[in-house]
Amino acid sequence: MRALSSQLLAGAAFRRAGAIAWGEGRQASLDFLLAPPREGRTPSRGAEAKNCFSGIKQMDQIPIHAGDRVFVLTGAGISAESGLPTFRASDGLWAGYRIEDVCTPDAWRRDPAAVWAFYSARRSQGQKAQPNPAHVALAELEAKMGGERFFLCTQNVDDLHERAGSVNLVHMHGELAKSRCEYECGRPPVEDHAVYASLGEVGRCPCGGRMRPHIVFFGEIPLEMPRIEREIARATAMIVVGTSGSVYPAASFVHWARQAGARTIYIGPEAPLNAAAFTNVVEGKAGERLPGLFCVEGK
């Protein structure tokens, strides 16, 4: 059984005052993009920016110091430039579907065909997508730092981080390319790339349960939380990319990192709901801003 932290219990339903779930509009103020956060904003980077392996440390790079441990959290925004829609944009996934119809335990009990239709469509989309320069930049950062000091936690269910070369990563909201027994009978998730045209095509577990997508539905407990909490507790820098800060517990991670004394850096084109908790903000698309942004100073 997965361990429950006190934070998780507090946020188990994925809903908090001021936070969004279930499709309501974003309320974030953009003020923080106009005012310098505590450690100053990162100025615009010129096309000539290099990483510090060239021996030239650019003023606009963010250093990763010897002895730093980095925790990265990514959201749907990092895959946007690969052509995968985010959730809460005006043309995002939750504008076209109701979460209650396709992404809750109730939806699965009521209408598994609708749930599989939604995730089959996403599999089909995901299989056509390719990693973009932001995925590649994070894989390169991991390679430069060494996996021991780098940990990537993604809310995304696509496999673009793996395909870009990331190794030390967890998918806290599940994986699109896997299925598991609806009864949690103890058998592990299995690889499944099928795009099902009807519920009749979906297989059954040896125990008799129908196979469901290996996705954390709203109201379920995210995966790997004990490991994630350990990694946050020992991180000295947290890098968050392309997530609106709407869904808990992921939206709390930056606060946990700050409490542990870490630097916290956000990269994305808009302010997330938890913007005030970041010490650095890098405005822009991840695929344009991440490559070369971090300068690894030593191991």
Active-site residues, by number, are: 173
- CB of 181 closer than 8 Å to CB of 209: yes
Q: How far is the CB of 75 from ligand APR (least distance, A)?
A: 3
Closer residue to ligand APR (CB): 52 or 247: 247
Among 40-48, 54-62, 76-84, 219-227, the segment contacting ligand APR (CB under 6 A) = 76-84
Which of 171, 144, 139, 168 has the alpha carbon at shortest distance from 158? Answer: 171
List 131, 133, 222, 268, residue binding ligand APR (CB under 6 A)? 268
| Ranges within 128-187 binding ligand APR (CB under 6 A) | 155, 173
Judged by DSSP in three states, 44 sits in: coil
Judged by DSSP in three states, 150 sits in: strand
Q: Where are the alpha helices (DSSP H) in 35-128?
A: 93-96, 99-102, 105-110, 112-128
Q: Where are the alpha helices (DSSP H) in 180-293?
A: 225-234, 253-259, 286-289
Among 41-49, 71-79, 135-143, 144-152, the segment contacting ligand APR (CB under 6 A) = 71-79
Q: How far is the CB of 144 from ligand APR (least distance, A)?
A: 21
From the CB of residue 170, how many other CB atoms can be counted at a distance below 10 Å?
17
Closer residue to ligand APR (CB): 52 or 78: 78
List 286, 293, 295, 296, residue binding ligand APR (CB under 6 A)? 286
Distance of alpha carbon 185 from alpha carbon 209, whole angstroms: 8
Q: Is 217 in the site for ligand APR (CB under 6 A)?
A: no
List 45, 69, 88, 171, residue binding ligand APR (CB under 6 A)? 88
Q: Is 76 in the site for ligand APR (CB under 6 A)?
A: yes
**What residues pair up with 181 in beta bridges, in sequence order?**
211
Residues near ligand APR (CB under 6 A), total: 23
Which of 239, 242, 227 has the alpha carbon at shortest distance from 272? Answer: 242
List 81, 142, 159, 162, residue binding ligand APR (CB under 6 A)? 81
Query: Binding mask 238-257 vs ligand APR (x if CB under 6 A, - otherwise)?
Result: ----xxx-xx----------
Q: Is 213 in the site for ligand APR (CB under 6 A)?
A: no
Q: Is 272 in the site for ligand APR (CB under 6 A)?
A: yes
Q: Which residues of 119-134 are buried (b: 16+ CB within 10 A; e: fewer)?
A: bbebbebbeebebbbb
Tell me the residue length of the chain: 299
